[in-house]
Structure 1
Amino acid sequence: MAQSASAPGPSRPSAPGSDSPWAASGVMFAGVVLLVDGVLAVVKGIAGIASDDVYTRITNYTFEFGVTAWGWIHLILGVVLAFVGWSVLKGAAWAWGVGIGLAALNLVANFVWLPHQPVWAVISIALDTFVIWALCAHRTKPVI
């Protein structure tokens, strides 16, 4: 007697390189994190542009930019991050590769920004690392 189509087949172990459930649900979370991180970067940028005394001033730092310059950097990066995060959530294939690149750029920017806002910079670095992993690990859509 033939096996019915509705009967479950034997479970197979996942092949190496296949998607993990963490990566699959991580992509949606990565899109949300990019969107939220972008919005928060916009707020961080506006605060830096509006007032020079919002963030800690650092002297004798290798990466000496004024707080206003950092504000513009975060504002522009935040707008682009939010747009790409929204595009990842909408399923745009191009947004995956751009999201990886922007998350890496945001990671570096927050590393350099570390002395000004250490707690939020470390949180943002950790979130960007997760975004990069989630977008690289899930392979059901092309990355580019």
Structure 2
Amino acid sequence: MSETSSVKQGVAAGTSIGAAIILVTVGIIQFFQGVAAVAENEVFVVGIEYVYKLDLTTWGWIHIVLGIVVMGVGLALFTGAGWARVSAIVVAAVSILANFLWLPYYPWWSLLIIALDVVVIWAVSTWKPDRV
């Protein structure tokens, strides 16, 4: 293994631990974002109608469930298990989709979560724990 590959794997391994932390944090925040949407529809304001319009309560439940799943996969990712890595990629991709559809309600937050999910996908897909 070349030194460049070793450095890349070291960065990916460190970033994967960071990805696990990011997933847990994003899961917690998505959970509370969902609770806010379910509990009080006046928290979020939508200025325009758009194609993917769902009731805020529905979006709230989507974020609650997604938050719990993302948090669980983030915790499992700390083990470095293969299934946890694959699950992290799938869950991050679903989170990207959900936050894209959530853009009209909370655009800056959605863009931030999408960017963090892209980092998670890169880190987890690049990291090969057996090579460290």
Q: What is the TM-score with the length of structure 1 in the denominator?
A: 0.83
Secondary structure of the structure 1 residue equivalent to 2:52 = coil
**For 1:20, what is the secondary structure of its paired residue?**
helix
Which of structures 1 and 2 has the bigger CA Rg? 1
**Gap runs ≥5 in structure 1:** 1-11
**Does 2:59 align with 1:70?**
yes
Runs of 4+ aligned structure 1 residues displaced above 4 Å come to 15-19
What does residue 108 of structure 1 align with? Answer: 97
Residue in 2 that maps onto 1:23: 12
Gaps of at least 5 residues in structure 2 are none
- 1:6-85 equivalent positions in 2, closer than 5 A: 13-14=2-3, 19-85=8-74
Higher helix share: 2
Aligned to 1:140: 129
Identity %: 34
TM-score when normalising by structure 2: 0.90
What is the CA distance between 1:89 and its match in structure 2?
A: 1.1
Deviation string for 1:30-54 (max 9, x for gaps)? Answer: 1001111000000000000001111
Letter in 1 for 2:122: W
Specify the alignment match of 1:97 in structure 2: 86
Q: How many residues align?
A: 130
